[in-house]
Amino acid sequence: MLREKLVEGFRNGVVVPQGLIAHGRGEMFDYLLGERTTKESRIASRAAAAVLLRAKRPVISVNGNVAALCPREIVRLAEVAHARIEVGLFHRTDERVSKIQNVLVEHGAKDVLGFLPDAKIPGLEHMRGLCSKDGIYSADVVLIPLEDGDRAEALAKMGKKTVAIDLNPMSRTSRASTVVIVDEVTRAFPELIRSVEDLQEDAKAIGEAIKKYDRDTNLKLVAKMMSKNLSDFLDR
Ligand code: ATP
Ligand code: MG
């Protein structure tokens, strides 16, 4: 079903061919993970929710793959976390930004940034660094599902907190982000929405969720799990 959604997104001009390749890479890690949400991913999800709830100006960065896979959940998360939505593309064209914007509006988004970028993320090549002053540029926390490593590193260098969703625990995105949820994006979004709803207006629980999470330990545990699944197979 996910592949069909991406192929449809590709046909509609929402997803680029590079996005299909990136999804295949993600599927491989998901296979090693057992295609399920792990305990580590739940811990990361709660920390991610806590960071979003503490944010003054949270922004959800949306690319073609994420818009094709879970548009409704993006809109719902923006509502519960009081976050703005910005289309942020690695392979940017006005046409594609506008198509993605339309997909989100069709699923209930009221205000989507990204069509008229008026700022730049320092350190990135011109088209890749374009963003909105009112959105990603001035955000204190940016949610970056399926982000490229260069952009994730550049956002971190700007002093922003980033929350990544990425199935590859070894990617530069995973290692550059404040919190990273290693899970498939269509499982990670509903879990993150639940975490935000659960922690909302509970300062103590928010603090505990952050305390309980250590990125590097979490990434190592996930990588170990993948490696164990592979070695269990060898020992069969
Ligand atoms: P990096 O640039 O961070 O070092 P990369 O070049 O391998 O890593 P990109 O193609 O830039 O990665 O970004 C896509 C990332 O998203 C990949 O790490 C891939 O594993 C992950 N990914 C792809 N599809 C999904 C999905 N459906 N859910 C979660 N993660 C995904
Ligand atoms: Mg990359």
What DSSP assignment string belongs to 173-209?
Answer: HHHHSSEEE-S-HHHHHHHHHHHHHHHTT-HHHHHHH
Q: Which residue, among 37, 39, 48, has the nearest Cα to 209 in the 3D structure? A: 48
pLDDT for the residue numbered 190: 98
Can you tell me the mean pLDDT for 59-87? 98
pLDDT confidence band for 215 (50 / 70 / 90): very high
Would strands 141-145 and 130-131 be described as parallel, antiparallel, or unpaired? unpaired
pLDDT for the residue numbered 123: 96
Can you tell me the mean pLDDT for 211-235? 97
Mutate to test the pocket of ligand 1, among 7, 29, 171, 182 (most ligand atoms within 8 A of CB): 171
pLDDT for the residue numbered 100: 98
Nearest-atom index, ligand 1, CA of 170: 4
Q: Which residue, among 219, 55, 43, has the nearest Cα to 142 in the 3D structure? A: 55
pLDDT for the residue numbered 230: 95
HSE of 8, CA atoms in CB hemisphere, 13 A: 10
Residue 153 Cβ contacting ligand 1 at under 6 Å:
no
CATH number at residue 198: 3.40.50.12640
Q: Which residue, among 88, 177, 91, 93, has the nearest Cα to 130 in the 3D structure? A: 88
pLDDT in tens, 162-192: 999 999 999 999 999 999 999 999 999 999 9
Question: Which domain does 215 fall in, by range?
Answer: 2-234
pLDDT for the residue numbered 161: 98
Give 149 Cα–ligand 2 centroid separation in angstroms: 5
pLDDT confidence band for 105 (50 / 70 / 90): very high
pLDDT confidence band for 148 (50 / 70 / 90): very high
HSE of 226, CA atoms in CB hemisphere, 13 A: 22
> Closest residue (by CA) to atom 15 of ligand 1?
146
pLDDT for the residue numbered 64: 98
Phi, psi of 227 (to 5 degrees): -65, -35
Residue 70 Cβ contacting ligand 1 at under 6 Å:
no
User: Do 178 and 36 form a contact (C-beta atoms < 8 A)?
Assistant: no
pLDDT confidence band for 208 (50 / 70 / 90): very high
pLDDT confidence band for 10 (50 / 70 / 90): very high
Nearest-atom index, ligand 1, CA of 146: 16
pLDDT for the residue numbered 141: 98
pLDDT confidence band for 73 (50 / 70 / 90): very high
Can you tell me the mean pLDDT for 203-218? 98
Domain count for the chain:
1
Mean pLDDT over the full length of the chain: 97
> Closest residue (by CA) to atom 19 of ligand 1?
26
Mutate to test the pocket of ligand 1, among 3, 20, 23, 25 (most ligand atoms within 8 A of CB): 25
Adjacent-strand bridge partners of 145: 165
